[in-house]
Structure 1
Amino acid sequence: MNKFELIQALKDATNISKRQAAAVVDIFFNGMADALEKGDRVEIRGLCSIYVKEYGAYTGRNPKTGERVKIKPKKLPFFKAGKNLKERVDR
């Protein structure tokens, strides 16, 4: 399911306009992104939790040349599936 399909499903389920459904989806995703940007954790009970994981700097290797490369520290979002989602997918 992509964002457009989610907007369409919300529109059909609630009998609101496509513009209103798009606004709701945008508010939801922007709220999640804003929370993650601040370093907060996003938890949707039964579905998932998303949090920012910090990785320190390290020395890597260029796979083509074998040359050593310094990798800067970084932060990445980490998705963890909830128990209910795991059970639904594993049926």
Structure 2
Amino acid sequence: MLNEEFAFKHSSAREAPVIKSELVLKLSEMNPHLYQRDVEILVNAILDEITDALRKGDRVELRGFGTFSIKERDARQGRNPRTGEKVSVTGKVVPYFKSGKEMRDRLNPKAGAAKRA
């Protein structure tokens, strides 16, 4: 769950993104009974499981957080930006994330409160 304790040093979307090592550090600070290396192993395991599920074509639903899935992009004609020459872009599978309602409400507290009123 997101909470105020789990705030990173970045206060604006324009600043540098939160990186995995900062996430590991913050989680290990919040759980002093765990070694930082163990937290890193857990974070990597979670990310690997999400990736493996997506690779198999499964959706990963984390209630309150969001859903990871894959989308297929069709092959298309593109252009080389330097030469303007037409090029074929092959189809591909890309990851997709849709935030959950609880996350959206926490990110937009006024919008969520107005809907309930």
Q: Distance in 2 between matches of 1:18 and 1:37?
A: 28
Shift of residue 24 of structure 1?
Answer: 1.0
Residue type matched to 2:79 in 1?
R
Residue from 82, 85, 88 that aligns with 1:67: 85
RMSD: 1.3
Shift of residue 2 of structure 1?
Answer: 1.8
Residue from 37, 40, 45 that aligns with 1:22: 40
Residue from 3, 10, 27 that aligns with 1:10: 27
Residue type matched to 1:82 in 2?
G
Q: Which residue of structure 1 lines up, in the alignment, with residue 100 of structure 2?
A: 82
**Cα displacement string for residues 25-77 of structure 1 (whole angstroms, at most 9, x for unaligned residues):** 11111111111111111111111111110011111122222211111010000
Structure 2 regions of 5+ residues with no counterpart?
Answer: 1-17, 110-117
Q: Distance in 1 between matches of 2:74 and 2:58?
A: 19
Residue type matched to 2:101 in 1?
K
Q: Distance in 2 between matches of 1:61 and 1:5?
A: 39
Q: Distance in 2 between matches of 1:51 and 1:90?
A: 24
Q: Which has the higher strand share?
A: 1
- In percent, how many aligned pairs have the same letter? 38
Q: Which residue of structure 1 lines up, in the alignment, with residue 59 of structure 2?
A: 41
Normalized against structure 1, the TM-score is what?
Answer: 0.89
Normalized against structure 2, the TM-score is what?
Answer: 0.71
Question: Which is bigger in relative contact order (C-alpha 8 A, separation at least 6)?
Answer: 1
Structure 1 regions of 5+ residues with no counterpart?
Answer: none
Residue type matched to 1:45 in 2?
R
